[in-house]
Amino acid sequence: MKKALAILMILALVGTAAFAEITFGAWGRGLFVPVQNSGASDEDSTATTGVSWGNPNPRVGMTIKGVSDNAGFQIDWNSDGASFGISDQNKIWVKPVSMVTLSIGRVFDDTLRGNACFGAWDWVRGYSVVNAIGSEDFVFGRIDTQNQGFVMSVAPTEAFYVAASFNDLKNYQKSENLFGDFQAQAGYTIAGIGQVRAGYKAVQQDEVAASTVYSLNTTTGELDETAVAAKDESVDGTIEVAFKLTAVENLYVDAGFRMKTNTDDYADVKDINLYANYKMDALKVHAIGQYKMVDIEGLDNGMMIGAGLDYALAGGIGFGADVRYMSEDMAKDLDKGADAVTSFFAGVTKGFSNGNVGVGVEVINAADTGYAIPIRMEYSF
């Protein structure tokens, strides 16, 4: 009997382990720019290394994940600049029931995100219109706890998804301010047609005062004082809605509307955003546009448009290009200057099983004409 119980215990342990695993992954990107110049008068051309998003250190990163039926974790490490740090996510998650996921730490949730990444976004963003407009949250933003936070997501059916997060909890925060740094999203997929999403994000204003909380110091037996940030009662709120069309084979169309809800002038700015791509064998064509409606004295409505393509050749060779235009009014709206801006990118890459290498050229024209020639290297495991 004891042997039978022992065997059953071993089988139970083995069965449990079969549903749990630790996985490792890695991704990194580095740019070497031997020549770049903004075009300003008397400026010397410079050389640098870095990444697409502007940091001077190449991204050397890896990810470790623990996954089971009901609990897990994720750590995204990097050694950018030869020192270890956390790059993206650093979280614990638990599923108390099958349809509910609770996450704590630094958390991203991209389930409903509507990005528009192509072309220069993956090279030197500073020499493209894309640097002023963005791409990853272009149509619909991700759930992002910023520093540290808590996220609850619910998926009662395959078609319906809801998530909410309390953000920016790295330090103490008054409980009454929890909904001042808060985000909520919902999405519903209509079979054979597309997906509709709606979201709200609140961000509190700068800190204006502080209060004190007390905690017991177990070494000295005394109470330690800790300053607690007391944020301004005013909140920057953002509402966004979007629809993603998936009814047409090989066609992806995502359109969204975004506006502020606070009572200052920024509430008088509303964005209409559109991104689309179409695949035809080795060719993928991109289109992007934004119309900014402004009701602020001294500013006018602005627009941005762009198009690009990717073409896959034999032997892992790929070609990409884009051209983008931002109107003079858009540049003023975004405080990016007083001139219309046009940018152009073209590049070629050679892909391998776990990475790629490529070279490109970027030109941006506003008051001056600037250029950059980046060499890009990536790995992925």
Q: What is the pLDDT of residue 210?
A: 52
**Contact indicator for 180, 192 with CB cutoff of 8 Å:** no
Q: Of 122, 96, 93, 123, which is closest to residue 108 (Cα–Cα)? A: 93
Which pLDDT belongs to residue 280? 96
Map tokens 């006018």 to a residue.
300
Mean pLDDT score, 221-249: 78
Closest residue by Cα to residue 106 from 61, 149, 46 = 149
Q: Using a cut of 0.85, tell me whether the model's pTM lies above it.
A: yes
| Average pLDDT score over residue span 114-123 | 96
User: Is 261 in contact with 201 (CB distance < 8 Å)?
Assistant: no
Q: Report the C-alpha gap between 341 and 116 in whole angstroms.
A: 19
* Per-residue pLDDT at 115: 93
The pLDDT of residue 44 is above 50: yes
| Greater model confidence, 205 or 160 | 160
Residue with tokens 């389930």: 111
Q: What was the pLDDT predicted at 158?
A: 94
* Mean of per-residue pLDDT scores for the chain: 89
**Among 329, 355, 350, 356, residue whose Cα is nearest residue 341:** 329
pLDDT at 9 over 80: no
What average pLDDT does this structure show over 3-10? 44
Report the range of poorest mean pLDDT among 27-41, 104-118, 333-347.
333-347
pLDDT for 18 beyond 80: no
Write the DSSP symbol of residue 336: S
Pairwise CA distance, residues 1 & 282, whole Å: 65
Read off the pLDDT of residues 294-339 as tens digits, 9 standing for 90 and up: 888 888 899 999 999 999 999 999 999 999 999 999 988 888 888 9
pLDDT at 8: 40
pLDDT at position 218 over 80: no
CA 258/CA 344 separation, integer angstroms: 27
Give per-residue pLDDT as tens, 272-282. 999 999 999 99
Instruction: Determine the Cα–Cα distance for residues 268 and 151; give it in Å rounded to an integer.
Output: 30
Q: Are 105 and 93 in contact (CB under 8 A)?
A: no
